Amino acid sequence: MALRSRNWFGRKGKDGFIYRAWMKNQGIPDFEFDGKPIIGICNTWSELTPCNAHFRQLAESVKRGILEAGGFPVEFPVMSLGETLMKPTAMLYRNLASMDVEESIRANPIDGVVLLCGCDKTTPSLVMGACSVDIPTIVVSGGPMLTGKYKGKSIGTSDVWRFHDDVREGKLDESELRNIEASMCRSNGTCAVMGTASSMACMVEALGLSLPENAAIPAADSRRKVLAQLSGNRIVEMVREDVRLSDILTPKAFENAITVNAAIGGSTNFVIHLLAIAGRIGVSLDLEDFNRISANVPLIVNLQPSGKYFMEDLFYAGGLPAVLKELQNYLHVDCITVNGKTLGENFEGAENNDKDVIAEVINPFNNSTGLAILTGNLCENGAVIKPSAASDHLMKHKGKAVVFENIEDFKARIDSDELEVDKDSVLVLKNVGPKGYPGMPEVGNMGIPKKLLRQGVKDMVRISDGRMSGTAFGTVVLHVSPEAAVGGNFSVIQNGDVIILDIPNRSLTVDLSDEELNERKRKKEAQPLVADRGYVSLYVNNVQQAHLGADMDFLVGKSGDEVPRDSH
């Protein structure tokens, strides 16, 4: 096949001279430009993204693999989104990072690309950007952290919410919390539970975008480097075979990813990211597809936050290949993957070594599926819940709304003894959606009011137009669309309105007539959107609603791999 990079390095005269000469200042001999596939290593290494801080070493393994296979590696940085440090929320920048990835690949002499990603938003942003170019691409995830250990107990990110409640109740003091910090994050890698990062790593493996085993090998395990090297080998072959993202990302591949996410109890954020990826590659996908495909998928992976184990345990139990093998009757096993084999061929030799971690389909560890889409007059365009992480007694619930107009309002009043709330109330948080916040932060798993915590209440129905961390749990309805900031029924919910949640029937309603809702909307003043300048202004004016994946309208689809004009 004709290499894209020959439009740079294969040129004669002044242009070819300029393209090659400045590369040679890195000490690169002439033969490296002699028709070898040029492989970009798109690296989200950053000390401000601690989950990806080991990526320099991982990139070295990828490079070794590329060189071995006869390609030439060129590593380049892109915007890295650190989930824990970025304010106001890393999600605000997912689309910006995806633009960086798309344009960095398109503008440069790259024939194939290896995406190094790990922390939550780094995976969807890189995959989205690469989809819009659609050259041969393989994903190498950074791998999860080792399981945290504290006083003989295994701990992970999902426990942070429990520790937080213990501090609020006075059961835990700050100095002990400091000790726990170090015990939980004791190695490189992403959160050790089935949070968003792990769900994204499972997503890319289920889609066929990575080599088998990519999802679960711990970051600290030497086999992670082996996988990186083998991925370097393989991307060179993919360029020679011209296997592109669009060859792998078929509608059936998306259905496989949805099935897997339901079976692993994956993050609710998976929904928003998969919709955005589908939009980039041109596959038609909507919220109803998630219900249709997930409905009968049993939850078989017993990991926090839906269960009790950790990613390290999943790896020892057989990793995602063993999960896929258990799920084979629910999957399109003929989907082609990056290694040229089908998904079915990839899990053929897998073994389930621990049925407490990976249950059999006929004996799932939780009968509730991992994901459900709700509809009703409270969420005209849908909302998302994770039934597997919800409480049994709240699966069908009717209660009066306690409304917080924004996150500041929530923080100011939630622990007040004056707050009129009881265990049957429904907490409602508005204006934390894509446009309203802006950026749709992970605040949907609102803390339980202190006075109810003291009464022993551990869960309540909570509803918002925001997201929650994939590591969180509870009966939490998220991604209400349309969000409060753009009108819609959710924007006019008031204290005391009766809300009815019916998870088995996938419904979320408020006991108000259409006339009443329309009257309230008519009286409501339009809300000005907060966007002073720069990227945030671009985002607020163009971001789509959650049910469409919260991508920017002008980024949906592809620019393709066309070589840009010369400027010399």
Rounded Cα gap, residues 387 and 540, in angstroms: 31
Minimum distance from residue 356 beta carbon to ligand FES (Å): 24
Determine which helix (DSSP H) or strand (DSSP E) holds 535, and give its type and residue range.
Answer: helix 534-542
Contact map string, positions 329 to 358, toward ligand FES, x by CB under 6 A: ------------------------------
With respect to ligand FES, which residue has the nearer C-beta, 119 or 127? 119
Closest CA to 395 of 368, 376, 415, 375: 368
With respect to ligand FES, which residue has the nearer C-beta, 202 or 343? 202
Piece of 165-173, 191-199, 369-377, 391-399 that binds ligand FES (CB under 6 A): 191-199
Piece of 189-197, 341-349, 387-395, 523-531 that binds ligand FES (CB under 6 A): 189-197
Q: Does 216 bind ligand FES (CB under 6 A)?
A: no
Q: Which of residues 75, 102, 111, 120 is near ligand FES by CB under 6 A? A: 120
Minimum distance from residue 123 beta carbon to ligand FES (Å): 10
Closest CA to 267 of 380, 323, 338, 191: 191
Helix locations, 135-286, DSSP H: 158-168, 174-184, 196-207, 222-241, 245-248, 251-264, 269-281
Q: Which of residues 10, 15, 57, 84 is near ligand FES by CB under 6 A? A: 84
Cis geometry, peptide bond prior to residue 482 (ω within 30 degrees of 0): yes
Q: Which of residues 119, 238, 248, 402 is near ligand FES by CB under 6 A? A: 119
With respect to ligand FES, which residue has the nearer C-beta, 190 or 509? 190
Residues in region 33-52 near ligand FES by CB under 6 A: 51
Tokens 């995602």 locate to: 320
With respect to ligand FES, which residue has the nearer C-beta, 187 or 537? 187
With respect to ligand FES, which residue has the nearer C-beta, 73 or 142? 142
Minimum distance from residue 422 beta carbon to ligand FES (Å): 34
Q: Does 191 bind ligand FES (CB under 6 A)?
A: yes
Amino acid residing at 415: D
Supply the angle between the helices 534-542 and 94-107 in degrees, to the nearest 10.
100
CB 148 within 8 A of CB 186: yes
Closest CA to 358 of 391, 293, 309, 297: 309
With respect to ligand FES, which residue has the nearer C-beta, 198 or 256? 198
Q: Does 312 bind ligand FES (CB under 6 A)?
A: no
Residues in region 146-165 near ligand FES by CB under 6 A: 157
Rounded Cα gap, residues 102 and 259, in angstroms: 28
Minimum distance from residue 62 beta carbon to ligand FES (Å): 20
Minimum distance from residue 190 beta carbon to ligand FES (Å): 4
Piece of 63-71, 190-198, 430-438, 537-545 that binds ligand FES (CB under 6 A): 190-198
With respect to ligand FES, which residue has the nearer C-beta, 157 or 369? 157
Minimum distance from residue 144 beta carbon to ligand FES (Å): 8
Closest CA to 382 of 297, 509, 263, 264: 509
- Rounded to the nearest 10 degrees, how much is the dihedral formed by the CA atoms of 29, 35, 36, 38? 90
Write a three-state SS string for 349-404.
CCCCCCCCCECCCCCCCECCCCCEEEEECCEEEEEEECHHHCCHHHCEEEEEEEEE
Piece of 7-15, 188-196, 270-278, 342-350 that binds ligand FES (CB under 6 A): 188-196
Minimum distance from residue 89 beta carbon to ligand FES (Å): 12
Rounded Cα gap, residues 202 and 267, in angstroms: 11
Minimum distance from residue 51 beta carbon to ligand FES (Å): 3
Rounded Cα gap, residues 255 and 260, in angstroms: 9
Q: Under the phi-then-psi rule, with left for phi > 0, alpha for psi from -120 to 50, and beta for the rest, what region is 549?
A: left
Q: Does 211 bind ligand FES (CB under 6 A)?
A: no
With respect to ligand FES, which residue has the nearer C-beta, 192 or 343? 192
With respect to ligand FES, which residue has the nearer C-beta, 144 or 482? 144
275 HSE (CA, 13 A, CB side):
21
- Tokens matching residue 492: 């006019």
**If binding means CB under 6 A, how many residues of this protein chain bind ligand FES?**
10
Q: Which of residues 135, 197, 440, 510 is near ligand FES by CB under 6 A? A: 197
With respect to ligand FES, which residue has the nearer C-beta, 213 or 442? 442
Minimum distance from residue 162 beta carbon to ligand FES (Å): 16
358 CB contacts (<8 Å, ≥6 apart)?
300, 301, 302, 314, 317, 318, 322, 323, 326, 352
Cis geometry, peptide bond prior to residue 305 (ω within 30 degrees of 0): yes
Minimum distance from residue 389 beta carbon to ligand FES (Å): 16
Q: Does 111 bind ligand FES (CB under 6 A)?
A: no
Q: Residue 250 in 3-state DSSP?
A: coil
With respect to ligand FES, which residue has the nearer C-beta, 197 or 216? 197
Terminal Cα distance for the chain, rounded: 26
Minimum distance from residue 431 beta carbon to ligand FES (Å): 24
- Tokens matching residue 11: 């040129």
Number of neighbouring beta carbons within 10 Å of residue 15:
14
Determine which helix (DSSP H) or strand (DSSP E) holds 149, and give its type and residue range.
Answer: strand 148-150
Q: Which of residues 195, 307, 318, 482 is near ligand FES by CB under 6 A? A: 195
Piece of 187-195, 209-217, 375-383, 451-459 that binds ligand FES (CB under 6 A): 187-195
Minimum distance from residue 157 beta carbon to ligand FES (Å): 6
Rounded Cα gap, residues 472 and 467, in angstroms: 10
Q: Does 83 bind ligand FES (CB under 6 A)?
A: yes
Chain positions contacting ligand FES, by CB under 6 A: 51, 83-84, 119-120, 157, 190-191, 195, 197
